[in-house]
Amino acid sequence: MPRLSLTINGRAVKARQGETILGAARERGIFIPTLCNLDGLKPLGGCRICLVEVRGHPRPVPACATKVEEGMVVTTDSERVVSMRRMVVELLLAERNHQCPVCVMNNNCELQAVARLLGIDHVRYDFIAPRAVLDISHERFGIDHNRCILCRRCVRVCDEIEGAHTWDVNGRGAASRIISDLAEPWGLSGTCTDCGKCVQACPTGALFAKGTETTGKGTICLEKLVAWRQRREP
Amino acid sequence: MTRDELRHKSRCARETRTAAGLRISVCLGSPCVATGAEAVLRALRESYGDRAIEVIGTGCMGPCSRGPLIRIEDRRGNRAAYYEKTTPATAMATVRAHLEGLNPDQGRLPADLPFLIRQQRVVLANSGICDPESLASSLENGGYAALLHAIEKMAPEEVCHEISASGLRGRGGAGYPTGTKWELVRAAKSRRRYVVANGDEGDPGAFMDRTLMESDPHRLLEGMAIAAYAVGATQGFIYVRGEYPLAARRLRQAINEATRAGLLGPHILESGFSFTIRLRIGAGAFVCGEETALMASIMGRRGQPVIRPPYPAQRGLWNQSTLINNVETFGCIAPIISKGADWFKSIGVPGSSGTKVFSISGDVATVGVMEVPLGTPLRELVAMSGGISNGNFKAAQTGGASGGCIPASHLDTPMDYESLTSLGSIMGSGGLIIMNDRRCMADMARFFMRFCQDESCGKCVPCRAGTEQAAQLLRRITSGDATEDDLVKLEELCHLMGDASLCGLGMAAPTPVLGTLRWFRDEYQAHLRAGGCPTGVCDREKHPCHV
């Protein structure tokens, strides 16, 4: 397999053709924060947390969705992209209700982790936090739209891995909501297989398992599942 | 239809046109229809349809705010007189007077009206002349002659080459060289290829594409067919926004008529080239004008953009190579093929060849559609539309919600791609909103930010949450509750949106704010201090009945 050489943060790096910048950086122990990315799912490029600078590109590019090219010069931690990441996380924290102390995912939350990593101790924007609904009609799980960051991991995992496509997005802009089937209560969904992958995939406390003291997340290893799927479909 | 039949039809038409008598044309563009043009046409047809007078409905004549318009001329198309704001009664009276050999003054537009005579119509050459609901009328005016020429005399690569040589750039906004795009699609490895016309003209103040689709739908079909021939496509789509029912109806009719006549479908004009066109109607999303979102919408998916690359030329509709051009770009194709690349290049300025259709609206005497060579100064466009109404020129917003503004000090700016970019604005699709000195620029920026907030698809955070916060900040500024700090935050957000958004909508959303901040920062500053809005617009907004 052809190997490409590129430079990430001044370090010479070899990468496989077709690999993303994110993958190449991770292999070398260079950390790029992500939110909407989940290994095994198709990249979305929506959260813009993983933006990196590539020489010759006027704008930063998402590391999760940009393929490596020969001779690429990538900077993952420039002042510009770090300040962008901070602003994006601030915008997310202000967009919906992210009250960590009362959230089921406190201390297990990826949004919280990214915020902590970027040293965000306050949010400069107005908290918009519209009163979004909580759907606990499903027997085992619930969805709290107040915690949702619209990363669409649940949508993609349900579509790409489980193949049920129960979840999708309704509305647009800030009014976007994750819906099950045709905006029916989750408990009445005819397509949901109750597999719980969406709950496992959710980075925040938006999707949760009911009746457990902890989040119940992380009990299924999605990466193994993906590897298993890929073995079956060459 | 065979090639000879096509030639015969256009020749016959030229002969009948030499017959004596009057021809009355009634403008049936949507602004005129909205003000009652159909009643005028019906009344004239009922009274005169059976005599030696030809009464036809045509596409848009240009000065939309003066409708319903009628034009009276002799059969040869000489001595044309335009009458504005007609009703069935005044139209009948005018025609009666003309039949008596008089030339009535009431409602007549001056023969030297700059709006009409200073235009150079290439794309809109048949607009206002031919009947958009009749293929025969289009053929009379030279429709499909370029397609015949291309199929008969040119190889597909020659067509691509001709378009490249003409220097035509995409009329949708970004100004990408059309020929290069065609060559990319032609060269792409793909099982099938598609040609898509982007008629999702969503910018506030833009109505050029609507005018072309409503006035001369066959021109669009012909341009698409030539493109398909050049790149080797067999299937085309026209994506029309749902707010344009008249354009959709006329396009559907044109597609059916052209297909029946063998100008679309299998073996076009006795050649091995086959091409069909299907119409897709949008459901009211501005973001569907972005090419990847548009393709998603055509395929029946949620209309939201995806990351490029891969570009549509590599992987577009159903993962096949796809050519997407704006409606107006396709409108330029037939004249280039008929008259040659050199002719096209001789119009306009270096780097921006050809003409551009502008839809001019706002505080001007005459609102409407005008086509001028690229590089025409903004001052000339304002003068053509009859000057500023209710005050002096303050600024012009080019490119709608994605563009910036041009202040009075740059009124002599030539309207071409590079000059506008250097002023921090964009050509955009050609919507031109003129504002007089009673308009508040902060308030205008707030309007456009609200628009982008409503139209954001919600996929990426900078656009979804950024427009929401920026609109909030602008609301605070215009209502006089903001501080210096808010202005800093607003600028910071604007740069974030511009750099970090996923698609063109988010990247361009802050342009109206940055443009007004660049030229009218003092006006923003005035809002921050107790002085309030210098124009008084925003104080009215504060009134409880304004939400």
Domain extent listing, chain A: 3-77, 84-232
As a whole number, mean pLDDT of residues B182-200 equals 95
Do B183 and B318 belong to one domain? yes
- Residues of B within 8 A of A156 (CB-CB) are none
CA dihedral over B224, B316, B202, B164, signed as positive or negative: negative
How far is residue B258's CA from residue B500's CA, in Å, rounded to a whole number? 45
Q: Residue B486 is part of a domain; what is its CATH number? A: 1.20.1440.230
Each residue's pLDDT tens digit, B439-483: 999 999 999 999 999 999 999 999 999 999 999 999 999 988 899
Percent of chain B surpassing pLDDT 90: 78
**Is residue B500 assigned to a domain?**
yes
Identical fold, A3-77 and A84-232:
no
Amino acid B546: pLDDT: 46
- Residues of B within 8 A of A176 (CB-CB) are 457-458, 464
As a whole number, mean pLDDT of residues B383-393 equals 93
Do B399 and B341 belong to one domain? no
Do B104 and B180 belong to one domain? no
DSSP string covering B247-280, please? HHHHHHHHHHHHHHTTSSBSSGGGSS--BEEEEE
- How far apart are the CA of A140 and the nearest CA of chain B, in angstroms? 28
**Is residue B133 assigned to a domain?**
no
The nearest alpha carbon in chain A to B461 belongs to A47
Do B66 and B169 belong to one domain? no
Helices marked H in B340-483: 341-346, 378-384, 417-422, 441-455, 461-478
| Cβ-proximal residues to B73 (8 Å cutoff; 6+ apart), any chain | B22, B23, B25, B79, B80, B81
Is the pLDDT assigned to residue B541 strictly greater than 60?
A: no
The nearest alpha carbon in chain A to B496 belongs to A84
- Residues of A within 8 A of B302 (CB-CB) are 168-169
Binary contact (B500, A88; C-beta < 8 A)? yes
Chain B segment 260-289 residues within 8 A of A by beta carbon are 285, 287
The nearest alpha carbon in chain B to A149 belongs to B461
Do B421 and B376 belong to one domain? yes
Binary contact (A174, B453; C-beta < 8 A)? yes
Binary contact (B468, A173; C-beta < 8 A)? yes
- Residues of A within 8 A of B307 (CB-CB) are 43, 45, 62, 65
- How far apart are the CA of A211 and the nearest CA of chain B, in angstroms? 32
As a whole number, mean pLDDT of residues B404-430 equals 91
Percent of chain A surpassing pLDDT 90: 80
- How far apart are the CA of B499 and the nearest CA of chain A, in angstroms? 5
The nearest alpha carbon in chain A to B470 belongs to A125
How far is residue B516's CA from residue B470's CA, in Å, rounded to a whole number? 14
- How far apart are the CA of A167 and the nearest CA of chain B, in angstroms? 13
B149 at A interface, C-beta within 8 A? no
Binary contact (A174, B468; C-beta < 8 A)? yes
Check: CB of residue B280 under 8 Å from CB of residue B240.
yes
Amino acid B505: pLDDT: 93
Binary contact (A94, B469; C-beta < 8 A)? yes
Amino acid B547: pLDDT: 42
Do B390 and B336 belong to one domain? no
Q: β-pairing, B193-199 with B321-326?
A: parallel
pTM: 0.92
Binary contact (B460, A91; C-beta < 8 A)? no
Token pair, residue A129, equals 């936090």
Binary contact (B460, A92; C-beta < 8 A)? no
Do B169 and B259 belong to one domain? yes
- Residues of B within 8 A of A169 (CB-CB) are 302, 458
Torsion angle, alpha carbons of A226, A229, A230, A231, to 10: 120
Do B414 and B446 belong to one domain? no
Q: Name the amino acid, one letter, at B313.
A: A
Binary contact (A46, B455; C-beta < 8 A)? no
Is the pLDDT assigned to residue B540 strictly greater than 70?
A: no
Q: Residue B229 is part of a domain; what is its CATH number? A: 3.40.50.11540
Give the residue with greater pLDDT, B10 vs B289: B289
- Residues of B within 8 A of A88 (CB-CB) are 461-462, 496, 500
Do B393 and B519 belong to one domain? no
Architecture of the domain made up of A3-77: Roll (3.10)
Is the pLDDT assigned to residue B542 strictly greater than 80?
A: no
**Is residue B4 assigned to a domain?**
no
**Is residue B125 assigned to a domain?**
no
Is the pLDDT assigned to residue A232 strictly greater than 70?
A: no
Architecture of the domain made up of A84-232: 2-Layer Sandwich (3.30)
B454 at A interface, C-beta within 8 A? yes
Please report the number of interchain residue pairs, chain A to chain B, with beta-carbon separation below 8 angstroms.
95
The nearest alpha carbon in chain B to A46 belongs to B460
Is the pLDDT assigned to residue B511 strictly greater than 60?
A: yes
Q: Residue B78 is part of a domain; what is its CATH number? A: 3.40.30.10
Smallest Cβ–Cβ distance between A172 and the set B285, B489, B493 belongs to B285
- How far apart are the CA of B350 and the nearest CA of chain A, in angstroms? 25
Check: CB of residue B6 under 8 Å from CB of residue B144.
yes
Token pair, residue B418, equals 């590079």
Amino acid B196: pLDDT: 97
Each residue's pLDDT tens digit, B278-320: 999 999 999 999 999 999 999 999 999 999 889 999 999 999 9
Each residue's pLDDT tens digit, B82-96: 999 999 999 999 998
- How far apart are the CA of A10 and the nearest CA of chain B, in angstroms? 23
Q: How far apart are the first and last CA of chain B?
A: 58
**Is residue B124 assigned to a domain?**
no
Check: CB of residue B176 under 8 Å from CB of residue B334.
no
Is the pLDDT assigned to residue B544 strictly greater than 60?
A: no
B181 at A interface, C-beta within 8 A? no
Binary contact (A84, B499; C-beta < 8 A)? yes
Polymer length in residues for chain A: 234
**Is residue B242 assigned to a domain?**
yes
B499 at A interface, C-beta within 8 A? yes
Each residue's pLDDT tens digit, A117-143: 999 999 999 999 999 999 999 999 999
- How far apart are the CA of B231 and the nearest CA of chain A, in angstroms? 28
Binary contact (A124, B489; C-beta < 8 A)? yes
Do B90 and B166 belong to one domain? no
Do B414 and B471 belong to one domain? no
How far is residue A196's CA from residue A211's CA, in Å, rounded to a whole number? 14
Is the pLDDT assigned to residue B543 strictly greater than 90?
A: no
Predicted ipTM? 0.90
Amino acid B103: pLDDT: 81
The count of structural domains within chain B is 4
Is the pLDDT assigned to residue A56 strictly greater than 80?
A: yes
Binary contact (A173, B502; C-beta < 8 A)? no
Is the pLDDT assigned to residue B154 strictly greater than 70?
A: yes
**Is residue B7 assigned to a domain?**
no
As a whole number, mean pLDDT of residues B423-429 equals 87
As a whole number, mean pLDDT of residues B42-53 equals 82
Mean per-residue pLDDT of chain B: 91
Binary contact (A175, B453; C-beta < 8 A)? no
Give the residue with greater pLDDT, B243 vs B49: B243
* Residue of B286, B297, B459 to mutate, testing the A interface (most A Cβ within 10 Å of its Cβ): B459
Which of A102, A50, A15 is closest to B460 using CA atoms? A50
As a whole number, mean pLDDT of residues B332-338 equals 96
Binary contact (A169, B302; C-beta < 8 A)? yes
Binary contact (B455, A44; C-beta < 8 A)? no
**Is residue B6 assigned to a domain?**
no
Percent of chain B surpassing pLDDT 70: 96
Do B356 and B335 belong to one domain? no
- How far apart are the CA of A178 and the nearest CA of chain B, in angstroms? 11
- Residue B195 belongs to what domain range? 143-345
Token pair, residue B166, equals 């003409």
Q: Answer with the one of B436, B459, B478 that is the final residue of a domain.
A: B436
Each residue's pLDDT tens digit, B121-146: 999 999 999 999 999 999 989 999 99
- Judged by average pLDDT, the poorest of A47-51, B55-59, B427-431 is B427-431
